[in-house]
Structure 1
Amino acid sequence: MDNTMVSIVTPVYKAENYIKETIQSVLNQTYENFEMILIDDCSPDNSATIIKEIAEKDSRIKYVKLEKNSGAAVARNKGIELAKGKFIAFIDSDDKWYPEKLEKQIHFMTSHNVAFTYTKFEMINDNGTLKNDAAKLPEKLNYKGLLKNTAIACSTVVIDREIIGNFSMPLVRKGQDTATWLKILRNHEYAYLVNQTLNQYRTVEGSLSSNKVQAIKRTWNTYRNIEKLPLFSAVYYLSHSLVNAFLRRI
């Protein structure tokens, strides 16, 4: 394990429209000791060609293809398994980082001796236009706090696995990231906010109401089927989560 390296894990599926821009945002980082492991989940488009062309020019870009389409959790777990760095970061194949993202986040973690951090993020639409300014996020979250406020975006996370230990994502098709943070926070007291906007989260235009319904279903599934919360507790935490999601935007 390289004690200064950041291993960046990216699942790739139908990402040809955005993956070049995502990789470039990683290559633009002022913190240069990283590897970016892109896991091709048998994407049927031109994603593989784009990634391989970039990998030929920069050895920090690693391309790996799964044998069959298996979902983001399996892809991310494969990336974690292959990672050589002490720090594990995630970026989805359509998101972007600001150039100082890793430098500021790693400095915060090493200077404060914390193992799990997340950052503020902006919302952009499918053509990269800013939709929303960065939301208001809590300075730190423990297990119960995260149940009440699912504010940790996957592409903002960095984890020090020397402190956290080995971890993997639950094998569910959706919501595996929040389920992973909850699993980690059962044994580690807090995740800490790096209170700067360092990430852009892309939302492709579609049915907003449908997306909201799917998000609620995803959170409910995490509470009931992964965390095994009793019915009353699941309703209690889901209610708080919905209120906090609204408050983050006002």
Structure 2
Amino acid sequence: MDATSEYAPEVSVVIPTYGRPDYLPDAVESVAAQTYSNVELVVVDDHSPEPVEPVLEDLSLDGLSWRCLRHEENRGANAARRTGIEATDGEIVAFLDDDDYWEPRLVERYLEAFDAGGSEVGVVAAGVQIVDADGEQIGSVVPEYAGDVTERLLRGTLQAATFSRFAVRREVFDDAGYPDERLPSLQDREWHIRLSQHARYASVPEALVVRRVTDHGQITDNFEKKRDESVPLIVEKHESLAASYGEDCRREFLSNFDRTLGFSALRNGYYRDSVRHLLRSIRRDPTQVSAYGYLALAIGGPFTYGSARRAKQWLSGRVSV
């Protein structure tokens, strides 16, 4: 598909960024390299220690319409996304985190899925390749989004696509609203619950997004903010919706977030917290098999969890995914 196709809407790409000048060029250049040309890019600098616009000016972005906006103070990733949404006009809005990048055909595939699904499809999600700090692929996920996905998201049987992996029809914002600026983490999961109530979903069954897994301080690693801010707010907003699908859905909804907290606590060395949340997850929904494995690691403490992580890293270097 190209700009001469019958369905050739403008696509607005929003990249929020803060303090990642080493990664941002890859993200921006991957937008410039898209096979679909009717694209505008807005990079929103969330008051990085050093302004990022000079970094962008040094890149080869010929043919790409782009702007860089800078917040006067640090306001968070969702505020930056909203700034980008409001500063653009495209019928389709796609998001890209500053430490991820896209394969050249992604926007083209997004539009093919929107076109095939018709006006009812308001969100399209793509697959992702997961790479380590050296760029070696260590995993991949191909999405299974189709139609009405609200109940599956609430139950936790469908993983919410991260921001770099989905595009939205602009008109959906009128009903679903913007990403919640109060959330320090789990921002994508909460927004998908709202988006899914006002739009049907479709998928690009290819891993055309590349996500780096590194140690450079992703907000998703902050257990205390998840425990004290994000999860309580999401539960407050959506527990009643989960209950509307039945008491079993409400329990699975709560169990899913307990499991999220248990795994986050485990990763961050809060072993007692991990045990507590995982036990509560299992009590609410004994069918969640992964919680039992995490619980065993949490009970074993740092030696057991550290050994398991080292074994996983060793195996990932020897098994092709």
Q: Same fold (TM over 0.5)?
A: yes
Question: Deviation of residue 139 (structure 1)?
Answer: 3.3
Q: Give 1:178's aligned residue.
A: 189
The structure 1 residue matched to 2:131, chosen from 90, 115, 124, is 124
CA contact (8 A) 2:186 2:226 kept: no
What is the CA–CA distance in structure 2 between the aligned matches of 1:78 and 1:44, rounded to whole Å?
Answer: 19
CA contact (8 A) 2:44 2:80 kept: yes
The superposition leaves residues 18-52 of structure 1 with CA deviations (integer Å, 9 ceiling, x where unpaired) of: 01111111111001111111000010146332123
Secondary structure class of the residue paired with 1:224: helix
Residue identity opposite 1:96 in structure 2: Y
Question: Deviation of residue 239 (structure 1)?
Answer: 3.3
Secondary structure class of the residue paired with 2:125: strand
**Greater mean alpha carbon deviation, residues 105-114 or residues 197-206:** 197-206
The structure 2 residue matched to 1:192, chosen from 176, 179, 202, is 202
Choose between structure 1 and 2 for higher RCO, CA contacts under 8 A separated by at least 6 residues: 1
* Cα-Cα RMSD: 3.2
Q: Give 1:236's aligned residue.
A: 252
What is the CA–CA distance in structure 2 between the aligned matches of 1:206 and 1:63, rounded to whole Å?
Answer: 23
CA contact (8 A) 1:55 1:63 kept: no
Residue identity opposite 2:133 in structure 1: D
**Greater mean alpha carbon deviation, residues 214-223 or residues 149-158:** 214-223
Question: Deviation of residue 213 (structure 1)?
Answer: 4.9
1:142 aligns with 2:142: no
Question: Deviation of residue 124 (structure 1)?
Answer: 1.4
CA contact (8 A) 1:179 1:222 kept: no
**Considering only CA atoms, is the larger Rg found in Structure 1 or Structure 2?**
2
CA contact (8 A) 2:235 2:254 kept: no
What is the CA–CA distance in structure 1 between the aligned matches of 2:211 and 2:93, rounded to whole Å?
Answer: 19
What is the CA–CA distance in structure 1 between the aligned matches of 2:104 and 2:289, rounded to whole Å?
Answer: 29
What is the CA–CA distance in structure 2 between the aligned matches of 1:187 and 1:11, rounded to whole Å?
Answer: 25
The structure 2 residue matched to 1:28, chosen from 14, 27, 33, is 33
1:154 aligns with 2:163: yes
The superposition leaves residues 135-167 of structure 1 with CA deviations (integer Å, 9 ceiling, x where unpaired) of: 2532325112112133312101111123x2433
Mark the runs of 5 or more structure 1 residues left unpaired by the alignment. none
Mark the runs of 5 or more structure 2 residues left unpaired by the alignment. 1-7, 260-287, 292-320
Alignment of 1:1-250 (within 5 A): 4-45=9-50, 47-54=52-59, 60-113=65-118, 114-132=121-139, 134-140=140-146, 142-147=149-154, 148=156, 149-162=158-171, 164-166=172-174, 167-171=177-181, 172-188=183-199, 190-205=200-215, 211=221, 213=223, 217=227, 220-221=231-232, 223-229=234-240, 235-240=251-256, 243=288
Write 1 or 2 for the structure with the bigger share of strand. Answer: 1
Secondary structure class of the residue paired with 2:110: helix
CA contact (8 A) 1:220 1:238 kept: no
Residue identity opposite 1:13 in structure 2: Y
What is the CA–CA distance in structure 2 between the aligned matches of 1:70 and 1:207, rounded to whole Å?
Answer: 17
Q: Give 2:294's aligned residue.
A: none
CA contact (8 A) 1:4 1:87 kept: yes
What is the CA–CA distance in structure 2 between the aligned matches of 1:207 and 1:115, rounded to whole Å?
Answer: 32
Residue identity opposite 1:88 in structure 2: V
The superposition leaves residues 192-244 of structure 1 with CA deviations (integer Å, 9 ceiling, x where unpaired) of: 22111110111213799x93957974773453133245898665225357559
Per the alignment, do residues 31 and 245 of structure 1 end up closer, same or farther by CA in structure 2, a change over 3 Å counting?
farther
What is the CA–CA distance in structure 2 between the aligned matches of 1:197 and 1:20, rounded to whole Å?
Answer: 21
What is the CA–CA distance in structure 2 between the aligned matches of 1:4 and 1:21, rounded to whole Å?
Answer: 25
Query: Percent same amino acid at aligned positions?
Result: 21
Secondary structure class of the residue paired with 2:253: helix
CA contact (8 A) 1:139 1:195 kept: no
Q: Give 2:284's aligned residue.
A: none
Secondary structure class of the residue paired with 1:227: helix
TM-score (norm 2): 0.66
What is the CA–CA distance in structure 2 between the aligned matches of 1:5 and 1:31, rounded to whole Å?
Answer: 10
